[in-house]
Amino acid sequence: MIPLTGRTTTSNWTHPATDVWQVADAAHAEAGHHAVLVRPGEPTPQGAGLYVTTDPQVAGPGPTLHLPVKLSHVDVGDVLAVTDDGSRVSVVWKASAVHNSILLTERCDHYCLMCSQPPKERDDSFLYERARRIITALPATARALSLTGGEPTIDPDAFLGLLRHIAQAAPELSTHILSNGRRFADPQFAHSYASVELRDVMVGIPLYAADPSLHDYIVQAEGAFSETVKGILNLTAAGASVEIRIVLQKTNIDHLGETAHFIARNLPFVNQVALMGLEMTGLAKPNQNLVWVDPHHYRAELKAAHRILTTAHVPTRIYNHQLCVLERELWPAAVQSISDWKNAYPVECEPCVVRDQCAGVFTTSGTRLSAHLEPITRDTNSDRRTLNEKIAQSSRG
């Protein structure tokens, strides 16, 4: 796992102009609004708003932040959030990463059995404001962004304001929003959302079952199913892009076929369905007896659901699954979807010939992995054809 936060020490600390900084090289020092990275042995330029370094001997002419060794991966184009007193830093954008997300709130009106980011009820409205500053500080190379929570729409005005800011400050970004969809049950809100002129934006909305009571049980919120489905309908009616996400777990796996049929019959116009493997962290840990099922045991159900959806021409992808626990037929639909900073390949993967195309595992899941991970060592003609098809079709999502 790549560490993204750490304790810092300072020298010449006077309150810098902002808490969010894009890291730049010495050539950008004059601009004053970048944090200039001073590498060990390099001269320290004048004029930077902030200096960052892993060299404890460096003291710039202005506020200087000494990064811990574990953050020596910080590089030009990354964006840092620094506490007011300079005692902590978070890497809120990693320029080299395929996946970057911004947390907008920890508040949520769901309490899902397997939530990887358990909700907290406290005023964290500063996060929406900080998200604006992160967007402003993004490097020109930034291409794709995920907005997460909590529930990103919990403060509807702050959410819409942020989207309008993205449209202005970073119009080239592709934006993916993870939402439970319930706010969009309000047609006026769905319309306001769809009216923001973002170039490329999609809302990913979980729908865990076709049975309202089962969906409501999984999200621990009565009436959620009805509002979520209304939200999906309002969004698509307003011309917005929608992805339905189904996290596969013990509670819903026996009903996956019904869920696929429900979507195929009632919501076939969504842009995509993602059939997702479980990340065993957050609330999934204390609830593991309720939620954990080895993906090896639902191979047949997954293949059947994929067939039901694709037969109805619903684009369907498989996230967070290792190729060795999937039927070969599903390999072309499998996406390397796990964020770089929490993605790994266990030791058994070393001899595997499909490692470069496999999603690998969540480091956050610890040892709670499929008991059936097994390197693929055969390189048959049919495997090679399947892989070529997969390479042609998939990209990191």
**Interaction site with ligand SF4 (CB under 6 A):** 322-324, 345, 348-349, 352, 354-355, 358, 360, 373-376
Element (H, E) at 165: helix 156-169
Nearer to ligand SF4, 141 or 377 (CB): 377
Nearer to ligand SF4, 42 or 374 (CB): 374
**199 vs 197: CA distance, rounded Å:** 6
The total of other beta-carbon atoms located within 10 Å of residue 84's CB is 9
Nearest in space to 337 (alpha carbons), one of 158, 101, 108, 139: 101
Using DSSP's 3-state secondary structure scheme, residue 262 falls into helix
CB of 4 to ligand SF4, least distance (A): 24
CB of 318 to ligand SF4, least distance (A): 13
CB of 336 to ligand SF4, least distance (A): 10
Identify any residues that bridge with 170 across adjacent strands, giving them in sequence order: none
CB of 248 to ligand SF4, least distance (A): 17
How remote is the C-alpha of 395 from its chain's centroid? Answer: 15
**185 vs 183: CA distance, rounded Å:** 5
CB of 178 to ligand SF4, least distance (A): 25
Nearer to ligand SF4, 200 or 356 (CB): 356
Nearer to ligand SF4, 147 or 334 (CB): 334
CB of 11 to ligand SF4, least distance (A): 45
What distances in angstroms separate CA 37 from CA 24, 77, 78, 130, 211, one per listed residue?
Answer: 6, 10, 10, 22, 54
CB of 306 to ligand SF4, least distance (A): 18
Nearer to ligand SF4, 29 or 323 (CB): 323
**26 vs 219: CA distance, rounded Å:** 49
Nearer to ligand SF4, 293 or 369 (CB): 369
Cβ contacts of 241 within 8 Å, gap of 6 or more:
201, 202, 203, 271
N- to C-terminal Cα separation, the chain: 19
Nearer to ligand SF4, 175 or 320 (CB): 320
